[in-house]
Structure formats: structure tokens, C-alpha cells
Amino acid sequence: MPSNAQLSWRNDRLVRLNQVEAQCAAVLALAPPNPALADENLRGYVMLLSAHFQGFCRDLHTECVQIVTAAISPAMQIMFQRQCATGRELDGANPRYETLRKDFDRFDIDLTAELAANPANSPRVTDLGHLNAWRNYAAHHRVTPPAHGGPFLLATARGWQNSCDGLAAELDRIMYNRLMGLTGAPPW
């Protein structure tokens, strides 16, 4: 059973991202194509992908905090929640790997080692870095594209979405196992 964050990612966030991707594809299919409109749509898709993945990660982190909070002494619950929320980078920073590592480290996990257990995660983490570089390119309307992760095409963005989907499933699995170890009960 997946977490509520994972269910929302699969049943809401990915559905909306797929609709935006379809819109981008429709603009590219115009005869003749409109390159400026296609570029704007692709920039929007990449920013939304980054935002939705950040939202998933933040939702998963919050859900995990709530589960651990319910398992500890009521006298310590507010203090624990504050410690987990203070300085949480997912509340404002891009969903970079380092951001995820720092925020989920509050649960005393070695995210690097956990992700390394599945060889598919290394290219996913690389794609996440590329997504964030291109997200900044799109959001700040830069004219010089990032040196890596391109070209800036719909197929490239779709690959980044697939990598985010894989990372979402892995984070959900990792946190399930960690919370099971901390609380002694299935968290979801």
C-alpha cells in the first residue's frame, strides 16, 4: 500500500502533468509549428514538473512526520514536529537531491546508500539535477541553456518525468521501511 503522498502523486499530480505534456505535443503537431509557443509550453511543463515533484516530496515528508509524531509521547510531539519543520528546505527550495537528502536525514536515513541499492536510481538522480537546471533556465527565462541534460525537447522532459516517478516510488519504499523500523507498525 502506498503513502497518501504517493497516491496523490499517481492519481492527481501525474494526471495533470500528462495533460500538460499532451498540450505541449499538440502545439508541436501544429502545421506549421509555432516555435515560440512550443518553447513557452515546454518551459511551463518543466516548471510544473519540478513543482509537482517538490510537492510530492514535501507531502511525503509531512506524512512521515505525522506518523512518527503519533508514535511518540504526547509531551514530545510538538517539539518533534517543530524540529522536523524548522529549516525544511522542501518548503521553498527546488527539489534538488541535496535538498531531499537534508530533509529526509531527519529520519536518520542515509538516502545516498538507500538509493544506491537500486541501480536504476543513479540515472534518476542525474535526471533530477538536469530537471532543476532546466527548471531554472525556464523560470528565469534565460537565453543560454544549461550545459547538460539537453536538448530542451518534449521527449527530454518526459524522461525527467519518468525519473521523478521512479524516485517517488523509491522514496515511498525507503520511508515505508524506515518508519516500519521506527514505529514497529506498517505506516501506510
Given a cut of 90, is residue 109 above it in pLDDT? yes
Given a cut of 90, is residue 33 above it in pLDDT? no
Name the one residue in this structure whose C-alpha cell is 527539489: 95
C-alpha dist (Å) from residue 50 to 32, 90, 164, 178 = 30, 12, 9, 25
Q: What is the percentage of the chain residues whose pLDDT exceeds 90?
A: 88
Given a cut of 90, is residue 102 above it in pLDDT? yes
* Whole-number Å distance between alpha carbons of 40 and 35: 9
Give the pLDDT mean for 92-102.
97
Residue 34 confidence (pLDDT): 87
Among left, alpha and beta (phi > 0; psi -120 to 50; other), residue 184 is: left
Q: How does the average pLDDT of the chain come out, rounded?
A: 96
* Whole-number Å distance between alpha carbons of 91 and 58: 7
* Whole-number Å distance between alpha carbons of 107 and 102: 10
* Whole-number Å distance between alpha carbons of 55 and 70: 22
Centre a 10 Å sphere on the Cβ of residue 99 and count the other Cβ atoms it contains. Answer: 19
Give the pLDDT mean for 19-26.
95
Give the pLDDT mean for 4-29.
97
